[in-house]
Amino acid sequence: MDIEKRVSPDLPVEPVESRVNYLNAQYGIKSWLLTRDHKRIALLYLGSVSLFFMLGGIYAMMIRLELLTPQGDLVQSQTYNKLFTHHGVLMVFFFLIPSIPTVLGNFLVPLMIGAKDLAFPRINLLSWYIYTLGGIFTLWAMINGGVDTGWTFYTPFSTTFSNTYVIATGLGIFINGFSSILTGLNFIVTIHTMRAPGMTWFRLPLFIWAHYATSLIMILGTPVIAITILLVALERAAHIGIFDPALGGDPILFQHLFWFYSHPAVYIMILPAMGVVSELIANFSRKNIFGYSFVAFSSIAIAVFGFLVWGHHMFASGQSMYAGMIFSFLSFAVAIPSAIKVFNWTATLYQGSISYDTPMLYGLGFIGLFLIGGMTGLFLAALGLDVHVTDTYFVVAHFHYVMVGGTLMGYLGGLHYWWPKISGRMYPEGWGRFAVLVIFVGFNLTFLPQFVAGYLGMPRRYHAYAPEFQIYNVMSSAGASILGMGLLIPLVYLVWSMRYGRVASANPWHLPGLEWRTASPPPTENFYVTPVVTWEAYEFAPPEEMQVVGKLEPGDAGDNPIEVAP
Partner 1 sequence: MPEQASTFASRVDALYLYLCGLTIFFTLLIVSVLIFFVVKYRKRAPFEIPRPIAGSIKLETLWSVIPFLIAMSIFVWGANLYFTMYRMPKEPASAMEIFVVGKQWMWKVQHSTGQREINELHVPVGSKIKLTMTTEDVIHSFYVPAFRTKADVVPGRYTSIWFEATKPGRYHLFCAEYCGTNHSGMGGWVEVMTQTDFDNWLSGNANQMSPVAAGQQLFTTTLGCATCHNADGTGGRGPALTGLFGKTVQLEGGVTVTADEGYIRESILNPQAQVVAGFQPIMPTFKGQLSEEQILQLIAYIKSLSPGQTSGTQVTTPARSNNPQAGAATPEGQGAKSLDSQRSNPLNSTAPRPPQSGSSNNTAAPNSRGNQNRQ
Ranges within 173-192 binding partner 1 (CB under 8 A)? none
Contact between 535 and partner 1 by CB under 8 A: the answer reads: no
Region 382-401 residues binding partner 1, contact defined as CB under 8 A: 382-388, 390-392
If one counts every other C-beta atom within 10 angstroms of the C-beta of residue 409, the result is 28
Distances (CA, A) of 390 to 145, 224, 297, 382, 403: 30, 24, 31, 11, 17
Contact between 534 and partner 1 by CB under 8 A: the answer reads: no
Q: How far apart are CA 267 and CA 269, in angstroms?
A: 5
* 500 CB burial (10 A radius; 0-12, 13-18, 19+): exposed
Contact between 297 and partner 1 by CB under 8 A: the answer reads: no
Q: How far apart are CA 357 and CA 51, in angstroms?
A: 27
DSSP state of 117: S
> Which of 328, 358, 423, 520 is close enough to bind partner 1 by CB under 8 A?
328
Q: Which long-range contacts (CB under 8 A, 24 or more apart) does 300-305 make?
A: 300/209, 300/212, 300/213, 300/216, 301/334, 301/337, 302/213, 302/267, 302/271, 302/334, 302/337, 302/338, 303/213, 303/214, 303/216, 303/217, 303/264, 303/267, 303/271, 305/330, 305/333, 305/334, 305/337
Contact between 531 and partner 1 by CB under 8 A: the answer reads: no
Region 204-243 residues binding partner 1, contact defined as CB under 8 A: 236-237, 239, 241
One-letter amino acid for residue 455 of the chain: Y
Region 136-165 residues binding partner 1, contact defined as CB under 8 A: 144-146, 148-150, 152, 154, 156-157, 159-165
Between 4 and 536, name the residue whose CB sits nearer to partner 1: 536
Between 464 and 498, name the residue whose CB sits nearer to partner 1: 464
Q: How far is the CB of 466 from partner 1 (least distance, A)?
A: 6
Between 129 and 161, name the residue whose CB sits nearer to partner 1: 161
Contact between 321 and partner 1 by CB under 8 A: the answer reads: yes
DSSP state of 306: G
Q: How far apart are CA 467 and CA 220, in angstroms?
A: 45
Q: How far apart are CA 310 and CA 61, in angstroms?
A: 30
Between 343 and 434, name the residue whose CB sits nearer to partner 1: 343
Contact between 251 and partner 1 by CB under 8 A: the answer reads: yes
Region 257-286 residues binding partner 1, contact defined as CB under 8 A: 285-286
Q: How far is the CB of 210 from partner 1 (least distance, A)?
A: 18
Q: How far apart are CA 337 and CA 206, in angstroms?
A: 14
Contact between 352 and partner 1 by CB under 8 A: the answer reads: yes
If one counts every other C-beta atom within 10 angstroms of the C-beta of residue 542, the result is 8
Between 120 and 332, name the residue whose CB sits nearer to partner 1: 332
The alpha-helical segments, DSSP class H, found in 8-158 are 29-33, 38-66, 77-89, 97-98, 106-113, 121-143
Contact between 128 and partner 1 by CB under 8 A: the answer reads: no
Q: How far is the CB of 35 from partner 1 (least distance, A)?
A: 36
Q: How far apart are CA 492 and CA 474, in angstroms?
A: 28
> Which of 133, 342, 448, 488 is close enough to bind partner 1 by CB under 8 A?
342
Stretch that binds partner 1, among 16-24, 373-381, 522-530, 549-557 (CB under 8 A): 373-381
Contact between 244 and partner 1 by CB under 8 A: the answer reads: yes
Contact between 65 and partner 1 by CB under 8 A: the answer reads: no
Between 129 and 356, name the residue whose CB sits nearer to partner 1: 356
Region 458-487 residues binding partner 1, contact defined as CB under 8 A: 459-466
Region 489-528 residues binding partner 1, contact defined as CB under 8 A: 510
Q: Are residues 56 and 90 in contact, defined by beta-carbon separation less than 8 angstroms?
A: yes
> Which of 34, 325, 491, 492 is close enough to bind partner 1 by CB under 8 A?
325
Stretch that binds partner 1, among 120-128, 220-228, 333-341, 433-441 (CB under 8 A): 333-341
If one counts every other C-beta atom within 10 angstroms of the C-beta of residue 389, the result is 21
Q: How far is the CB of 129 from partner 1 (least distance, A)?
A: 25
Contacts with partner 1: how many residues (CB under 8 A)? 115
Stretch that binds partner 1, among 7-15, 20-28, 131-139, 347-355 (CB under 8 A): 347-355
Stretch that binds partner 1, among 179-187, 380-388, 436-444, 477-485 (CB under 8 A): 380-388
Distances (CA, A) of 289 to 205, 212, 294: 10, 18, 10
Between 240 and 529, name the residue whose CB sits nearer to partner 1: 240
Q: How far apart are CA 392 and CA 348, in angstroms?
A: 37
If one counts every other C-beta atom within 10 angstroms of the C-beta of residue 70, the result is 15
If one counts every other C-beta atom within 10 angstroms of the C-beta of residue 326, the result is 14
Q: How far is the CB of 136 from partner 1 (least distance, A)?
A: 16
Region 19-58 residues binding partner 1, contact defined as CB under 8 A: none
